Structure 1
Amino acid sequence: MGMLASSVSQARTLEDLTRPLLELLQTVTGLDSTYLTTIDLDAGVQRIVYARNTRELDIPEGLAVPWEGTLCKRALEEDRLYTDDVAECWADSAPARELGISTYASSPVRTEDGELYGTLCAASMDSLPLAEGSMQVLQMFSRLIAQQIDRERLVSALRRANDSLAVSALTDTTTRLPNRRALMDQLRHRLSLENASHVLLVAFIDLDGFKAINDKHGHETGDRFLSAIGGRMQGAMRDMDFVARHGGDEFVVLSEAPHGDAEACLASLRERLESACSGRYNLGGLLLDYAGPSIGIVVARPGEHECEALLAQADAAMYEVKRARRAARV
């Protein structure tokens, strides 16, 4: 008994808690089977989640039966949580008849918000009286299980909230692309990998003419343009590519290329980005023809580990392209 109590006190999951409680409950009640159910009222189904069976009565885990007609439903509706003559009380209960249950005791498992999660039950094929205090123990165990369910739901909700916050911290709100923080993490990670067969390409993209778009059409249109062009860049990415908004009207793409094919891959990446970003944009009814951004791409040197220095090289390469484009327009 002491070992079971210790297992209950150290339980971290619903199963860790329930299984020793079912064993304790069997000892206290003296009945053949103890089990925990869940109830799906919308689907009209009751399922056996965990069960402990001794002697002849076998209530299998995973068993699903229609909620209508179950002993648990009858007991809740009639507030009759124990009987040693199931055949007399609920003769028309098919599940009880099929399982051969004569003695039955249960307690509802309700979460903190009052939701009916399921039932904690004990049953036997023989007609047996309950030992004194058994119903109090049954009800106490059902409350312990409900508290564990509430704890697990709270932990799950906190994890989801934490995951959402983590994603938000690494996501640009305008374009929904990874932000500069995510970019630096990814760049740091890729530079830390020793790759004998591939090199890292870093493309720095600056949206020429973006300020004029903002000034002429307003910031809302400017944000739509950023989002649209970010989506087009994302669509041009391959499996190992990574695109992020560096800030303002600047984006960065990370890609990989085989050592002996770096220049060809660099040219291919430039072509993909230029093709994706250039052309007509529909920005909430405004049609905008865009000539494309300035793109600078560099290949990381072997042993390169300085993220900022590598970005600065790509930025400088981008400005060379920008100057050449300006000169061509004069």
Structure 2
Amino acid sequence: MESLLPRLSHTLVHAKSLEELTRPLLDMLQQVTKLDSTYLTRIDLPHSQQHVLYTCNRGRLEMPEGLVVPWQDTLCRRALEDRQPYTADVVSSWGDSEAARALGLHTYVSAPVRLPQGQLYGTLCAASGVEQAMPDGAMATLELFAGLIGQQVERELLLQELQQRNLELANYALTDALTGLPNRHALMEELPRMWARAERDGRSVLLAFIDLDGFKQINDQHGHEAGDQLLQTVARQLLNALRDSDFAARIGGDEFVMVGTGPEISQSATQVLYELEERLALATQCDVAVAEDLLHYPGASVGVVAVHPAQTSTEQALALADAAMYENKTRRRTRSGIH
């Protein structure tokens, strides 16, 4: 073991992943045990399977990486249950294991790999196709390496959990809590990407500004729960009305914005804008449950524009769409008296 200390120290300092740690340890373990194959397994108890993750094969017996065997048939399960980590005669000890028989295992030794809280992660094993005694200190080395691997697994699991939480926080920061749509911040991050994509493809950008007319009155007359239901319903219907490449966001209050790529710059966008305005206006019409009745919402004011991404900034485009929406709102007020 003393001759391995420099290499072990180097491995512990420089290994950045489970694989970078395990492969040198398997090689060192093979030198200590003198057995044909050393390998790390992952135990999947919910699916009752054992997976061979990494191996080091130096003799006649070769343990294949990626091998999956039923947990109930493994020597590792038997060794754990019988508290017998080593045998030089697998047939006499556990002759009922089909996997061991198929692989030609004769000598076998293993140590459980556990996380610091005691959960079983897998096993660190060594095996040979012939009868071999365990050298002095080999079992202690095996257990030491199993502990080191368990610590690395724990670090990686904690890192994965931290990354997942950071991702969730980032998504939360970019999502409108009520509707589940992207929020204003997410929209402002998406607009430059949409501009770049449209300019690269030689297309215009379609931008729509949507304002829910009469929203304040609904809140005042029917309560905020009715207003929330209206926002949620409109958000769902807007999503259903969009193309996969389109992007919709709730930017605050009763306002939504939709952005997507339009026709080629050389083509007229008049018909596309008309159809988009009609589609979005229709998507904002809905019925909302109020007490024991249904409140019919006749739809929002929608302003749509098509802009040249190389000639119009995102801020200018938003202002143009906002102005188009107010023009639409004025026409609607004139026709129906909606405020």
Q: Fold-level match, TM-score > 0.5?
A: yes
Per the alignment, residue 204 of structure 1 pairs with 209
Per the alignment, residue 224 of structure 1 pairs with 229
Q: How does 1:166-205 map to 2 (within 5 A)?
A: 166-193=170-197, 194-195=199-200, 197-205=202-210
Is the counterpart of residue 292 in structure 1 residue 299 in structure 2? yes
Q: Which stretch shifts more, 123-132 or 154-163?
A: 123-132
Structure 2 residue identity aligned to 1:150: E
Per the alignment, residue 97 of structure 1 pairs with 101
What is the root-mean-square deviation in Å for CA atoms of aligned residues? 2.1
The 1:299–1:91 alpha-carbon spacing in structure 2 relative to 1, beyond 3 Å, is: closer
Which of 258, 262, 265 in structure 1 is aligned with 2:272? 265
Per the alignment, residue 325 of structure 1 pairs with 332
Structure 1 residue identity aligned to 2:61: L
Distance 2:180 2:309 in 1: 32
Per the alignment, residue 124 of structure 1 pairs with 128
Structure 2 residue identity aligned to 1:230: A
What's the TM-score once normalised by structure 2's chain length?
A: 0.90
Q: Name structure 1 gaps, 5 residues minimum.
A: none
The 1:44–1:257 alpha-carbon spacing in structure 2 relative to 1, beyond 3 Å, is: closer
Q: Report SS of the residue matched to 1:229.
A: helix
Q: Deviations over 1:139-178 (max 9, x none)?
A: 0110111111111111111111111111111111111111
Structure 1 residue identity aligned to 2:279: R
Q: Report SS of the residue matched to 1:255.
A: strand
Distance 2:90 2:207 in 1: 75
Q: Deviations over 1:195-244 (max 9, x none)?
A: 46311122111111111111111111111110101111111111332111
Distance 2:14 2:66 in 1: 25
Q: Report SS of the residue matched to 1:68.
A: helix
Per the alignment, residue 314 of structure 1 pairs with 321
Distance 2:63 2:41 in 1: 11
**Deviation of 1:274 (Å):** 1.3
Is the counterpart of residue 28 in structure 1 residue 28 in structure 2? no
Query: Are the counterparts in 1 of residues 195 and 309 from structure 2 also a CA contact under 8 Å?
Result: no
Distance 1:34 1:224 in 2: 61
Q: Report SS of the residue matched to 1:34.
A: strand
Q: Which stretch shifts more, 36-45 or 204-213?
A: 36-45
Structure 2 residue identity aligned to 1:225: L
Structure 2 residue identity aligned to 1:292: G
**Poorly superposed stretches of 4+, deviation over 6 Å:** none
Is the counterpart of residue 277 in structure 1 residue 280 in structure 2? no
The 1:145–1:31 alpha-carbon spacing in structure 2 relative to 1, beyond 3 Å, is: same
The 1:119–1:301 alpha-carbon spacing in structure 2 relative to 1, beyond 3 Å, is: closer
Per the alignment, residue 238 of structure 1 pairs with 243
Distance 1:65 1:123 in 2: 16
Query: Are the counterparts in 1 of residues 226 and 288 from structure 2 also a CA contact under 8 Å?
Result: no
Q: Report SS of the residue matched to 2:217.
A: helix
Structure 2 residue identity aligned to 1:245: R
Structure 2 residue identity aligned to 1:252: V
Distance 1:164 1:267 in 2: 38
Distance 2:91 2:286 in 1: 78
Q: Deviations over 1:253-291 (max 9, x none)?
A: 113222312111111110111121124344686412112
Distance 1:224 1:101 in 2: 65
Q: Report SS of the residue matched to 2:77.
A: helix
What's the TM-score once normalised by structure 1's chain length?
A: 0.92
Which of 164, 186, 190 in structure 2 is aligned with 1:160? 164
Is the counterpart of residue 253 in structure 1 residue 264 in structure 2? no
Q: Report SS of the residue matched to 1:261.
A: coil
Query: Are the counterparts in 2 of residues 297 and 318 from structure 1 also a CA contact under 8 Å?
Result: yes
Total equivalences in the alignment: 330
**Deviation of 1:39 (Å):** 1.9
Q: Which stretch shifts more, 306-315 or 233-242?
A: 306-315
The 1:42–1:243 alpha-carbon spacing in structure 2 relative to 1, beyond 3 Å, is: closer
The 1:248–1:141 alpha-carbon spacing in structure 2 relative to 1, beyond 3 Å, is: same
**Deviation of 1:94 (Å):** 3.3
Q: Which stretch shifts more, 50-59 or 22-31?
A: 50-59
Which of 37, 42, 62 in structure 1 is aligned with 2:41? 37
Per the alignment, residue 50 of structure 2 pairs with 46
The 1:305–1:6 alpha-carbon spacing in structure 2 relative to 1, beyond 3 Å, is: farther
The 1:188–1:91 alpha-carbon spacing in structure 2 relative to 1, beyond 3 Å, is: closer
Query: Are the counterparts in 1 of residues 229 and 288 from structure 2 also a CA contact under 8 Å?
Result: no
**Deviation of 1:83 (Å):** 2.4
Q: Report SS of the residue matched to 2:76.
A: helix
Q: Report SS of the residue matched to 1:132.
A: coil
